[in-house]
């Protein structure tokens, strides 16, 4: 894979030098980055302390914090997060696999693309949220509904990006494969898939994000457990502290998913770095 | 001439193939609902759906509902993307702003869009204002991310040229950063348009006071009126498609100078 060396070398140099300056620079950067949240929290604290806004609109940060500790202690937050996570993982796996298969079909075969793409695009035009009421009528409000909605969220970006990634593999590379008399399987495994890998990863990333959004949507509309339910429940009771704790949890899980995707992307594409070294 | 005719047949093949599966599905749909293979409450006949669409269009002012949704969508989209472009420009070009704000933005962005709805409904109520705020947030995020990315990847050579020519900061923005970020900004705005439509639907589902296509669908679900839900969902798709097309055309038009380079 020497051909990728030129394009990637600058990135890997940056990461190498980044490691050298790790501590001092990082600490300063973190301090600066924390300035805004800390000062906002301070302002928030003052605002609620002075009673600028009623408690129902803006509970004090200390109150939100104590609610959070309480909900962590009682295992409530863990329980709801677990329910949500399980739904996302199952739905995402179904959706991503289906999307990968569909995207590969559309990317590799013009015939499949011709047959499927118009319908797929029409299907993709309708926001995931749009499907929820329709699916609710068919599947009720049980677990099936949630899994299908989440899977649909992952399927569309996965299929689109996989297809686009495969299409964008330079024809020269494929010709090199021809010249080397690669079999179809070899061309796919050694040229097309590695070439499309960054796009497929983009698909996974968007797919997971969409799944997560879809989860929150479907739980807001129809659920008796999970983080989305916690949001609705807190909202109905005017317990803004519960709403905020649920939001923070949603954000943290989203962040953790993003980071772990980053890590696995780097791991899977480590050959690029090897090429550059 | 032969190239042209080849293109023509290729096009015809594409259209024929593209229509095959949808037509097959429609036939299966019609047959299964006519023969009672599937409960018509779950799968109303095409005729029924068509009649519902007609009823909604003529008697129930569907166009009115649609224009309410669309004006919300557009208002939020414009606010979100304009604020987003300015915001991202500041972040991308000012080191201080970048260090101060970008991490917080990245943190907040992790919170899934719909999770903001309960908070927004407490802060802004269930009315028009809350909906537009929500739509604007939806457009804001992708616009910021892409604009930022685009400005950051402005070619180093160009920036150096700007230095050499002693450009003022404003000149650097308008002559170097904005043009080179334009493709990314267009992507961001395009995404923002799609997200804002999603958010419009979401706002109408969850802040369910007022009118609009989303409210229509929710009403259809509550009355177990599958035909109405289908009409609504179809319209959602149609609008999404139209918005996507418009954005694509605008993008192609704005970026037409790139083709010359390629």
Give the per-residue pLDDT at A21.
Answer: 54
Tell me if chain A has a CB within 8 Å of the CB of B117: yes
Q: How far apart are CA A55 and CA A49, in angstroms?
A: 10
pLDDT at B15 over 70: yes
Give the per-residue pLDDT at B71.
Answer: 93
How sure is the predictor about A22, in pLDDT bands with cuts at 50, 70 and 90? low
pLDDT at A185 over 50: yes
CA atoms within 13 A on the CB side of A67: 19
Q: What is the pLDDT of residues B156-185, one digit of tens each?
A: 888 888 888 888 888 888 888 888 888 889
- Domain A62-272 in CATH: superfamily? MetI-like (1.10.3720.10)
Closest residue in chain A to residue B108, using alpha carbons only: A251
Interchain proximity B112–A127, CB inside 8 Å: no
Among the partner-chain residues A115, A126, A228, the one whose CB lies closest to the CB of B237 is A126
Prediction pTM value: 0.81
Tell me if chain B has a CB within 8 Å of the CB of A122: yes
- The distance of A209 to chain B (nearest Cα, Å) reads 8
Tell me if chain A has a CB within 8 Å of the CB of B156: no
Domain ranges of chain B: 1-43, 44-261
Q: How far apart are CA A217 and CA B113, in angstroms?
A: 9
Give the helix ranges, DSSP H, for B37-94. 46-58, 62-93
Domain ranges of chain A: 62-272
Interchain proximity B114–A220, CB inside 8 Å: yes
Burial class (CB in 10 A: 0-12, 13-18, 19+), B158: middle
Sign of CA dihedral B243, B248, B249, B253: positive
Question: Who contacts A53 (Cβ-Cβ below 8 Å, separation ≥6)?
Answer: A47
Closest residue in chain B to residue A217, using alpha carbons only: B114
Interchain proximity B14–A129, CB inside 8 Å: no
- The distance of B245 to chain A (nearest Cα, Å) reads 11
Report the SS3 class of residue B155.
Answer: coil
Interchain proximity A125–B107, CB inside 8 Å: no
- The distance of A127 to chain B (nearest Cα, Å) reads 6
- Over residues B20-26, the mean pLDDT reads 90
Average pLDDT, chain B: 87
Q: From B96, B197, B185, B203, select the one nearest B145 (Cα to Cα).
A: B185
**B262 vs A43 pLDDT, higher one:** A43
- Over residues B14-20, the mean pLDDT reads 87
- Over residues B187-195, the mean pLDDT reads 90
Q: What is the pLDDT of residues B44-72, one digit of tens each?
A: 888 888 888 888 888 888 888 899 999 99
In chain B, what residues touch A145 (CB-CB under 8 Å)?
A: none
Give the per-residue pLDDT at A163.
Answer: 92
Average pLDDT, chain A: 84
Give the per-residue pLDDT at B182.
Answer: 87
Tell me if chain A has a CB within 8 Å of the CB of B125: no
**B210 vs B243 pLDDT, higher one:** B243
Residue B242 CB coordination number (10 Å): 13
For chains A and B, what is the number of CB pairs under 8 angstroms? 150
- The distance of B163 to chain A (nearest Cα, Å) reads 23
Interchain proximity A115–B123, CB inside 8 Å: no
Q: What is the pLDDT of residues B74-86, one digit of tens each?
A: 999 999 999 999 9
Which positions 202-261 of A are in contact with B (Cβ < 8 Å)? 212-213, 215-217, 220-221, 227-228, 231-232, 234-235, 238, 240, 243-244, 246-248, 250-252, 254-255, 258
- Over residues B219-230, the mean pLDDT reads 89
pLDDT at A232 over 80: yes
- Whether domain B44-261 has CATH 1.10.3720.10: the reply is yes
Question: Who contacts B151 (Cβ-Cβ below 8 Å, separation ≥6)?
Answer: B88, B89, B92, B93, B177, B178, B180, B181, B184
- The distance of A135 to chain B (nearest Cα, Å) reads 10
Q: What is the pLDDT of residues A52-110, one digit of tens each?
A: 877 777 888 888 899 999 999 998 999 999 999 999 999 999 999 999 999 999 998 88
Q: How far apart are CA A74 and CA A68, in angstroms?
A: 10
Q: What is the pLDDT of residues B92-149, one digit of tens each?
A: 888 888 888 888 888 888 888 889 999 998 888 888 899 999 999 999 999 999 999 9
Give the per-residue pLDDT at B72.
Answer: 93
Among the partner-chain residues B20, B117, B229, the one whose CB lies closest to the CB of A137 is B229
Q: How far apart are CA B214 and CA A133, in angstroms?
A: 10
């Amino acid at each position: 894979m020497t051909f990728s060396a030129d394009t990637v070398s600058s990135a890997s140099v940056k990461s190498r030098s980044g490691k050298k300056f790790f501590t001092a620079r990082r600490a300063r950067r973190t301090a600066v980055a924390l300035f805004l949240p800390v000062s906002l929290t301070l302002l928030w604290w003052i605002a609620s302390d002075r009673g600028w806004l009623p408690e129902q609109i803006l509970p004090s940060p200390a109150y939100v914090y104590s609610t959070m500790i309480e909900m962590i202690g009682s295992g409530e937050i863990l329980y709801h997060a677990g329910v949500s996570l399980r739904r996302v993982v199952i739905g995402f796996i179904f959706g991503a696999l289906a999307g990968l298969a569909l995207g590969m079909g559309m990317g590799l075969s013009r015939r499949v693309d011709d047959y499927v793409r118009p319908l797929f695009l029409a299907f993709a035009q309708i926001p995931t949220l749009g499907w929820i009421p329709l699916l609710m009528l068919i599947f009720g409000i049980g677990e099936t509904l949630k899994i299908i909605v989440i899977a649909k969220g992952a399927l569309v970006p996965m299929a689109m990006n996989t297809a686009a990634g495969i299409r964008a593999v330079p024809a020269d590379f494929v010709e090199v494969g021809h010249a080397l008399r690669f079999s179809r399987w070899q061309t796919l495994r050694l040229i097309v898939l590695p070439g499309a890998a960054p796009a497929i990863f983009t698909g996974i990333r968007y797919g997971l994000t969409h799944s997560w959004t879809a989860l929150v949507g479907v739980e807001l509309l129809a659920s008796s457990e999970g983080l989305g339910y916690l949001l609705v429940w807190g909202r109905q009771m005017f317990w803004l502290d519960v709403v905020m704790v649920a939001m923070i949890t949603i954000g943290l899980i989203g962040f953790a998913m993003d980071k772990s995707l980053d890590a696995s992307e780097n791991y899977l594409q480590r050959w690029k770095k090897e090429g550059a070294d | 001439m032969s190239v042209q005719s080849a293109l023509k047949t290729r096009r015809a093949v594409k259209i024929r193939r593209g229509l095959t599966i949808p037509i097959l599905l429609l036939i299966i749909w019609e047959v299964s609902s006519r023969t009672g293979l599937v409960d018509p409450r779950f799968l109303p006949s095409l005729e029924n759906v068509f009649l519902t669409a007609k009823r909604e269009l003529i008697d129930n002012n569907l166009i009115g509902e649609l224009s309410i949704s669309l004006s919300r969508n557009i208002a939020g989209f414009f606010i979100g993307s304009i604020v987003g472009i300015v915001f991202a420009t500041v972040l991308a070009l000012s080191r201080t702003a970048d260090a101060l704000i970008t991490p917080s933005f990245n943190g907040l962005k992790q919170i899934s869009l719909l999770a903001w709805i309960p908070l927004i409904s407490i802060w802004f109520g269930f009315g028009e204002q809350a909906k537009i705020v929500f739509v604007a947030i939806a457009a804001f995020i992708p616009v910021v991310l892409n604009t930022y990315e685009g400005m950051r990847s402005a070619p180093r050579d160009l920036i150096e040229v700007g230095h050499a020519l002693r450009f003022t900061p404003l000149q650097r923005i308008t002559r170097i950063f904005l043009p080179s970020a334009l493709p990314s900004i267009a992507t961001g705005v395009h995404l923002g348009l799609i997200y804002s439509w999603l958010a419009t639907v979401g706002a109408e589902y969850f802040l369910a006071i007022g009118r609009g296509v989303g409210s229509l669908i929710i009403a259809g679900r509550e009355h177990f009126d599958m035909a109405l839900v289908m009409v609504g969902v179809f319209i959602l798709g149609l609008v999404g498609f139209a918005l996507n097309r418009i954005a694509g055309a605008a993008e192609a038009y704005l970026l037409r100078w790139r083709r010359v380079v390629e």
